[in-house]
Amino acid sequence: MSNAAPPRKAPDQPWRAEGTPDEKRRGAGGGLRGGKWWGLLVTAVIVFLLAYVGLNYLGRGTEPTISYTEFSREVGAGNVAKIYSKGDAIQGQLKSPRANPDGGGDYTKFHTQRPAFAEDKLWQDLSSHGVTVTARPVVQERGLLSNLLISLIPIVLLVAVWIFIARRVGSGLGGAGGMFGRKTPPRPVELRPGTGRTTFADVAGIDEVKGELDDVVDFLKYPDTYRRMGAKLPRGVLLAGSPGTGKTLLARAVAGEAGVPFFSASASEFIEMIVGVGASRVRELFAEARKVAPSIIFIDEIDTIGRVRGGGASMSGHDEREQTLNQILTEMDGFSGSEGVIVIAATNRADILDPALTRPGRFDRVVSVSPPDRGGREAILRIHTRQMPLAGDVDLAQLARVTPGMTGADLANLANEAALLAVKAKQDRVTRADLSEALEKVQLGAERTLVMPEEDRRRTAYHESGHALLGMLQTGADPVRKITIVPRGRALGVTMSTPEVERYAHSEGYLRGRIIGALGGMAAEEVVYGVVTTGAESDLEQVTNIARGMVARWGMSERVGRFSALPSDAQQAYGLSAAPQTLDVIDAEMRRIVDECYEEARQKLRDHRGRLDALAHALLENETLEEADAYRIAGITRLTKDAEA
């Protein structure tokens, strides 16, 4: 079953439609529309060309223009039968054909021009040789009909241009909405219901969200049952969530599951430079949806036009974006009789939407679409790999465990990257190694061919070994999945650590463990070499963010207290949401926590120097260590979930 979005039928139609009933296209007032106009125009052009060719070429011969000298020679030879003269222009006919001096065969009829300076005795020569001087032209010129057809060419072109413009402006009555939109929109894409539709079978990993939408599907399937109980159809459903969580797929699945027409558009496609075009397009879209109701309208990225009004973003308070939003509000309010039309919108910025858009009666339900849990990730991976030949060593459950936080789009990209790697390697199946390599490529970037000095390579090996060893030793740290000193992206080496179970609330011990693990690279360099390098820049950024959150947002400092001193984005709110004295305390507490963790990291590495050396030497030899090999070389038993908790 294809999940691709249906194409737009016309480039100026800002929405796509699927599952609409098969109806004949018709224009306003029964006029000719679409292909009929073009067919009529092409037919008229063909008829005109045939008539023109027939009258002007097939109906007359080839009458060359000869020189006056040649004409005089033929008169003297007695070969001219008759002539017709108008001024100095002469037409004539020969008694015997002569070869055309310019090529192209023989001729009998001709044109010539008598020079003004000629002083010959033309009339005497004509009379002496018995040439008849006629009153009618010897060579018949184009008649009235031919000249009329030729004169109509500019008119036909003007009519064709007028027809094109009239269709664009809606017969001159559409105003701004007609010139840049349409007065009467074309019918939507015609697909039989049930053909090429997306259903809930194509959606996985967000079962709780599907449960929220089951009521909408059931209402669309059995509206009379709800109406008998006095229940009204929800006007709108707002899907809010991170990018790639499947909001668009969910909306299409609702329409496919209910078997109703589905109109989809991006909010930005309604906006034009001319004020009023967006509102006109919204009216057209809802009008089309009402014709085939019950139906679903899906508007993606609605925050483009649904932002809080009155922000002063434009010179006028009534600009194009606000007009478009006002029209959507009016249509959803039911003033236009939008019974049976459900609007589903998607956004990842629900906090900036206008309150009038999210009140009951507009978007009655706000459904949060979160990244999938481990079971959901496994189900999503099975959907995206069902068309791929997988090797026997592929364990999708294990892959789901090591991909926390990844959305459906991320997992689809991961599966596709693994398939591309298998094709490049000329394999007939996608292996576990392909999926592992694809995961590293997606999360860390592609490998870099970087030639490092041996000393830098050894330092990198100890740096990554420090991260890994503390991750193995620290109870609160996430388990180590892979260690590598192969340069990827901006990093010279990477230690991959992901949680064993989904975590929705973090304890102070877990956060301290993450800080200790992040400081392990710098601590290892100081323990082994006595100096630190710039390789810990990203580690320190991570440590700073965690420590700031512990002290200023999550109440994990006795001196700061149990309140949120920096409640919003720390980088923007730092220094704005707290008094200067509080900021000084926050800095001191952050420094205390980080210093304590760094000292603990150095002490543990000193106590386990042999394990640190063993990991570093193995990395220098193999460059990459998988989870089982890393724990075996370090001589550490893998911690269980209960022990970690």
- For residues 504 and 23, the model is more confident at 504
For the segment 355-364, what is each residue's pLDDT rounded down to a tens digit?
888 887 788 7
Give me 246's structure tokens: 């499947």
Which helix (H) or strand (E) is 124 found in, with range? helix 122-128
**Which pLDDT value is given to residue 597?**
92
**Which pLDDT value is given to residue 559?**
86
Instruction: Give CA–CA dist 462/469, Å, rounded.
Output: 10
Q: Are 271 and 278 in contact (CB under 8 A)?
A: yes
Whether residue 464 lies in the annotated active site: yes
**Which pLDDT value is given to residue 598?**
92
**Which pLDDT value is given to residue 157?**
72
For the segment 272-302, what is each residue's pLDDT rounded down to a tens digit?
655 567 778 888 888 888 888 788 888 888 8
> Would the pLDDT of 497 be above 90?
no
> Would the pLDDT of 592 be above 90?
yes
- For residues 496 and 387, the model is more confident at 387
> Would the pLDDT of 387 be above 90?
no
Catalytic residue, candidates 464, 525, 589, 627: 464
> Would the pLDDT of 95 be above 70?
yes
For the segment 619-639, what is each residue's pLDDT rounded down to a tens digit?
888 888 888 888 888 888 865
- SS3 at position 3: coil
- Mean pLDDT computed over every residue of the chain: 75
The average pLDDT across 590-596 equals 92
What is the DSSP secondary-structure string of 389-445?
Answer: -B-TT--HHHHHHT-TT--HHHHHHHHHHHHHHHHHTT-SSB-HHHHHHHHHHHHH-
Q: Which of 331, 283, 289, 333 is nearest to 177 (CA)?
A: 283
> Would the pLDDT of 271 be above 50?
yes
Instruction: Give CA–CA dist 461/483, Å, rounded.
Output: 9
- For residues 336 and 589, the model is more confident at 589
Give me 536's structure tokens: 């810990």
For the segment 442-456, what is each residue's pLDDT rounded down to a tens digit?
877 776 766 777 888
**Which pLDDT value is given to residue 591?**
92
> Would the pLDDT of 315 be above 70?
no
Give me 190's structure tokens: 């015609």
- SS3 at position 312: coil
**Which pLDDT value is given to residue 593?**
92
> Would the pLDDT of 457 be above 50?
yes
Q: Are 107 and 97 in contact (CB under 8 A)?
A: yes
Q: Which of 491, 486, 515, 487 is nearest to 625 (CA)?
A: 486
Q: Which of 518, 472, 407, 399 is nearest to 625 (CA)?
A: 472
The average pLDDT across 140-146 equals 62
The average pLDDT across 112-135 equals 78
> Would the pLDDT of 140 be above 80?
no
Q: Give the global pTM.
A: 0.62
Give me 389's structure tokens: 């030949």
- Given pLDDT bands bounded at 50, 70 and 90, which one contains residue 599? very high
> Would the pLDDT of 117 be above 60?
yes
- Given pLDDT bands bounded at 50, 70 and 90, which one contains residue 595? very high
The average pLDDT across 605-622 equals 89
> Would the pLDDT of 78 be above 70?
yes
For the segment 80-94, what is each residue's pLDDT rounded down to a tens digit?
888 877 777 888 888
**Which pLDDT value is given to residue 323?**
79
**Which pLDDT value is given to residue 154?**
67
> Would the pLDDT of 256 be above 50?
yes
* Angle at the Cα of 499 from the Cα atoms of 494 and 501, rounded to 5 degrees: 160
Give me 248's structure tokens: 């668009």
Half-sphere exposure of 307 (CA within 13 A, CB side): 12
Q: Which of 239, 238, 234 is nearest to 218 (CA)?
A: 234
Q: Which of 516, 441, 501 is nearest to 471 (CA)?
A: 516
Q: Are 605 and 612 in contact (CB under 8 A)?
A: yes
The average pLDDT across 601-627 equals 88
Angle between helices 454-473 and 580-607 (to 10 degrees): 100
> Would the pLDDT of 8 be above 70?
no
* Angle at the Cα of 622 from the Cα atoms of 619 and 625, rounded to 5 degrees: 65
Q: What share of the chain is helix, strand, coil (3-state, %, to 5)?
A: 50, 15, 40
> Would the pLDDT of 243 be above 60?
yes
For the segment 181-225, what is each residue's pLDDT rounded down to a tens digit?
444 443 443 444 445 677 777 777 777 777 778 878 888 888 778
For the segment 547-577, what is each residue's pLDDT rounded down to a tens digit?
988 988 888 888 888 877 776 554 444 445 6
Percent of the chain with pLDDT over 70: 74
Residue found under tokens 């100890």: 462
Q: Are 591 and 444 in contact (CB under 8 A)?
A: no
Neighbours of 493 (CB within 10 A): 25
- For residues 515 and 37, the model is more confident at 515
**Which pLDDT value is given to residue 47?**
61
